[in-house]
């Protein structure tokens, strides 16, 4: 059931970002769901790397990586290791548990937003 809660949170954040990111930003979401050993082997052969954050936003030469977790969700060791690699490469990375945390992260790192989402 926790996966469905995370999916709902992910969808909520994604829909909001479609309205508030600047028009020249490029964003996408990555599907990292486990689909069995066979699919895992296929992904690995294609260069898919475990631990990659759920969302990426690229804007004017800068990259922002967002791992989405529910309030009770945990970040795996593989994810923590990847987050550190991305940070060492000079990228902004955050674990966010709400839309408000995503907006705070983006604003803190200088991402211009078109507007705010009102609840």
Per-residue pLDDT of the chain (119 residues; tens, 9 = 90+): 456 888 899 999 999 999 999 999 999 998 766 677 887 778 778 887 888 999 999 999 999 999 999 999 999 999 999 999 999 999 999 999 999 999 999 999 999 998 665 55
Supply the CATH number for residue 53's domain.
3.40.1350.10
Q: Which domain holds residue 38?
A: 1-109
* Total tally of structural domains belonging to the chain: 1
Cα–Cα distances in angstroms (integers) from residue 13 to residues 41, 58, 66, 86, 103, in the given order: 30, 16, 11, 22, 9
C-alpha 3/C-alpha 1 separation (Å) is 5
> Residue 73 domain-assigned?
yes
């Amino acid at each position: 059931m926790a996966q469905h809660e995370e999916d709902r949170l992910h969808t909520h954040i994604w829909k909001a970002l479609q309205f508030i990111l600047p028009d020249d930003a490029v964003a996408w979401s990555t599907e990292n769901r486990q689909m069995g050993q066979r699919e895992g082997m296929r992904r690995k052969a294609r260069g898919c790397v475990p631990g990659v954050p759920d969302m990426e936003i690229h804007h004017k030469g800068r990259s922002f990586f967002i791992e989405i977790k529910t309030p009770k969700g945990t970040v795996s060791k593989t994810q923590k290791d990847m987050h550190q690699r991305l940070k060492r490469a000079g990228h902004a990375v955050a674990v966010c548990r709400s839309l408000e945390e995503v907006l705070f992260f983006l604003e803190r790192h200088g991402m211009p937003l078109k507007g705010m989402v009102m609840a």
